Structure 1
Amino acid sequence: MPAIVGAIKVNAISSSGVFNVGDVFRIAPVSTAKTFSGAGSFNTGDNLNVRNNYSVTRVNDSDGVDQNITAVI
């Protein structure tokens, strides 16, 4: 069924992002990422006061592969 779409504003699309308007059969990611970060790492804004007296980020990942990427046709 056709889609009726009004105005669209796209600020940014990352290199692995997908932008679709309307009908679609399949959308699949082409990349994966894993991020390790400590307490207060992704805080953004003006006049932040972050206090972390003790913070430990454990990064022991024994399986090695979390999401395999295979060819999608």
Structure 2
Amino acid sequence: MPAIVGAVKVNSVSASAIFNIGDVYSMNPNSSAKTYAGGGSFNTGDGIRIDLNQSHTYVYDKDKLDQPVT
């Protein structure tokens, strides 16, 4: 069934968003990110105490490409 669309004003669309006007069969947004985090990085809550002594996060990536988004 055809869509009837009136006036549209778009102020902005982010890099990982989809903007569509009209009929659509399938929409598949794709994005990727690489996050480096050491031990205890994503802890949340009240009164958390982390003692990692000499913790290191190594970020060397020799192949430069993990999983491409196409």
Uncovered stretches (5+) of structure 2, i.e. residues with no partner = 1-14, 18-24
Alignment partner, residue 69 of structure 2: 69
Equivalents in 2 of 1:43, 1:28: separation in Å? 31
Alignment TM-score, normalising by the size of structure 1: 0.54
Aligned length: 49
Alignment TM-score, normalising by the size of structure 2: 0.56
Ranges of 4+ aligned residues in structure 1 off by more than 4 Å: 25-29
Uncovered stretches (5+) of structure 1, i.e. residues with no partner = 1-14, 18-24
In terms of Rg, which structure is larger?
Answer: 2
Deviation at 1:67, TM superposition (A): 1.6
Amino acid of the structure 1 residue aligned with 2:40: G
